[in-house]
Amino acid sequence: MSPTWFQFDPNRAPDTDFEPGELHHFCVGNEGRLLDFRRTPVQVMRMCDATGLATIEILGFEDKGALWELPYEEVGKCQFKKGSARAPAEALARIEREAARLNRQIEIPCDSSQRDETLAAISRERERAGAWLALHSRFFQSGQALPQGEADGSPLLYADAKHYMAHRACGDLEALFARHFVSHVFNEAVKAHRIAVAQLGLAPYVGKILRDPAQTAGALSIHRRTAHIIARMGFIQAMFERAGQSHVVLYRMESCEGPLRRRRSGESALVSASFRMDIVQEMSGWTDSKRTVVIYRQAVPVERVLMTYLETEAMNHPFREAEAVLLADPTNHAF
């Protein structure tokens, strides 16, 4: 299960073998578990005071071996094994200081004039991508239909998307974003793209500051990230236009113990959904009668789509969630 569907659930019945996560547990080598409904096992691998991020390794399930970034102040999303090492006083003071320094929120609202300029750029990109697909797409030359609802996307479409992103000099950012999004949707690499989306005026960003300056330096600059977003959305719109589709039917879920709580804001600017209800239902903990589960279905206009599993190889292995990445819409409570 990808962290796209991570549900932070601290209210589940306690386990006497674990204790609540505290800052003093941030010691390299300590093992614990996330407070998702799977109780994913983890181990602290590295600490970085400059960014206030602990690198944790996932020790179980299909994402075993993945490395996630956990902000120091979010240690409460974990439990640690009883008897785990505790940071000495000096280290704990440093961890607390960096957590306080970096635990800051920012808000980037949508600028209407910037949005109009961006939409015009995407429209031009759609025309460019449409012409490219007409000449070079092996998928559309094959006469196949888009594999919506199937377990996997199309290898021919994977190749088309990869070649077009390379053609538009965005291949490196395409690989970076896709890899990080499927591995850990809340990390700094994805956050930088969320901020780029907001600066384009496409969706507001409300969340924590970018903590890792390397994510907007050199080849990862916001300017290049915005270019990738425009190229990506133009390609997607051209792809669906050629397939004769203006909307895609998608599913999302919320799942928790007890009464339904307000949706977290961690997916600011970008949100995830799935083309398949059965996948969303499985990830919701549907079989647990103690959980409150809500599943939403909606026909979403392709103008909100950034990326899907149909044309993105990284979204098919090891995770098979038939996923779509959308621009957030603050007025849409389901999607």
| Residue-level pLDDT, tens digit, the chain, 335 residues | 443 444 555 555 456 789 999 999 999 999 999 988 788 999 999 999 999 999 999 998 888 899 999 999 999 999 999 999 999 999 999 999 999 999 999 999 999 999 999 999 999 999 999 999 999 999 999 999 999 889 999 999 999 999 999 999 999 999 999 999 998 888 999 999 999 999 999 999 999 999 999 999 999 999 999 999 999 999 999 999 999 999 999 999 988 878 887 655 446 899 999 999 999 988 888 888 888 899 999 999 999 999 999 999 999 988 889 999 999 999 998 88
Same-domain check for residues 197 and 259: yes
Same-domain check for residues 140 and 265: yes
For 5, 292, 320, the CA distances from 287, given in Å and listed in that order, are: 16, 11, 20
Scanning the structure block, which residue is given the tokens 């929120």?
Answer: 105
Structure tokens at 264: 């977290």
Same-domain check for residues 43 and 92: yes
Last residue of a domain, one of 71, 103, 135: 103
Scanning the structure block, which residue is given the tokens 């059965």?
Answer: 278
DSSP string of 60-93, one letter each residue: SSTTTT-EEEEEGGGGGGEEEETT-----HHHHH
Same-domain check for residues 117 and 72: no
Q: Say how many domains are in the chain.
A: 2
pLDDT the model gives residue 207: 93
CA-nearest of 202, 193, 207 to 112 is: 202
pLDDT the model gives residue 263: 59
Q: Does 332 map to a domain?
A: no
Q: Quick check: 159 and 142 in contact, CB under 8 A?
A: no
Same-domain check for residues 198 and 186: yes
CA distance 56 to 33: 10
Last residue of a domain, one of 55, 84, 103: 103
Q: Which pairs count as long-range contacts for 107-111, CB under 8 Å and 24+ apart, including other chains?
A: 107/204, 107/205, 107/206, 108/195, 108/198, 108/199, 108/204, 108/205, 108/206, 109/198, 109/204, 110/198, 110/201, 110/202, 110/203, 110/204, 111/201
Q: What is the DSSP letter of 293?
A: E
In DSSP terms, 254 is beta-bridged to 294
CA distance 248 to 274: 10
Length of the chain: 335
Same-domain check for residues 138 and 30: no
Same-domain check for residues 35 and 49: yes
Q: What is the DSSP letter of 314?
A: G
Q: Does 19 map to a domain?
A: yes
Q: In this structure, what CATH number is given to the domain that contains residue 60?
A: 2.30.30.30
pLDDT the model gives residue 3: 38
How many other C-beta atoms are found inside a 10 Å radius of the C-beta of residue 326?
25
Last residue of a domain, one of 103, 119, 146: 103
CA distance 215 to 193: 9
Question: Cis bond leading into 204, ω under 30°?
Answer: no
H/E stretch holding 192 reads helix 188-199
pLDDT the model gives residue 314: 95
Q: Does 333 map to a domain?
A: no
The domain in which residue 177 lies consists of 106-327
Same-domain check for residues 132 and 237: yes
Same-domain check for residues 149 and 63: no
Q: What are phi and psi of 150, to 5 degrees?
A: -80, 165
pLDDT the model gives residue 11: 52
Same-domain check for residues 51 and 131: no
Q: What is the DSSP letter of 14?
A: P
Same-domain check for residues 176 and 280: yes
pLDDT the model gives residue 284: 83
Q: What is the pTM of this model?
A: 0.91
pLDDT the model gives residue 203: 97
Same-domain check for residues 67 and 21: yes
pLDDT the model gives residue 306: 98
